[in-house]
Amino acid sequence: MNIFDLHTVRIDFWECLNYLPVTIKLAIEAELLSLLVGLIIAVIQMKKVKVLNKLCVVYNSFMRGTPILIQLYVTYYGIPIALKYINYYYGTNYEINGIDKVFFAILALGLNTASFNSVTIRASLESVDRGQIEAAKSVGMTDLQALFRITIPEALEVAIPTLGNSFIGLIKGTSLAFTCAVVEVTAQAKIIAGRNYRYFESYVAISIIYWATTLILELILFLIKKKIHIPDVVSGKEKRVAA
């Protein structure tokens, strides 16, 4: 009996690799959503907006206090139920079956990651020298202009290492997207293993794919971090800010 078949690993590797673009697409779109929501949460908590700040605290507590797998199930089954309720009571006609399954996975993964990214974004924004923000306001910039032209660019380099690790974690988190009927790398491995009953070989194959993807991302993040480096000519000290 052949306990471990290396040839099967090679075949499974190339079959699963065809679904890597789906995994990358899921991760990128979920990360973009998480950055947007995370920035909004960070700004609300920094400004201490009364009602919204409390809602953000509850939101972060729920997202961090429940498993991402459960959040995926709640999103996948909860949104159709909510739409059915709206259709029934408000006479609307939202097409429930027409919703792309990828949407549920992106929404759940993005909102979950946003909770963690908001802490990173907030800490990075607060690390920016207040003197520069005051200087921006003194020349007529609004709070929003100062945020996007001064605060965010300078906070970017502080946040990149942690946000990069978050994105790498999101890549691995997409392996749970099969719960929303999305066929990505892990789901394809399950399908292949269900055909040949070589589960170990299939999981070895996708382990190599995830590992290689992570190594490439780490290299890209390292190069980006080196790229955004210019001296602070005002203080005379070398300071890294966004180029």
Show Cβ contacts of residue 5 under 8 Å, excluding neighbours closer than 6 positions. Answer: 198, 201
Percent helix / strand / coil, the chain, rounded to 5: 80, 0, 20
**Helix (H) or strand (E) run with residue 195 in it:** helix 185-196
User: Which CATH code fits 6-227?
Assistant: 1.10.3720.10
Across residues 71-81, what is the average pLDDT? 94
Q: What pLDDT shows up at residue 112?
A: 96
Using one digit for the tens of pLDDT, what is the confidence trace for 226-241? 877 644 444 444 444 4
Q: What pLDDT shows up at residue 70?
A: 95
Using one digit for the tens of pLDDT, what is the confidence trace for 176-204? 999 999 999 999 999 999 998 999 999 99
Q: What pLDDT shows up at residue 238?
A: 44
Q: Where are the domains of the chain?
A: 6-227
Across residues 40-60, what is the average pLDDT? 92
Between residues 96 and 190, the one the model is more confident about: 190
Joined together, the tokens standing for residue 161 give 């290492």
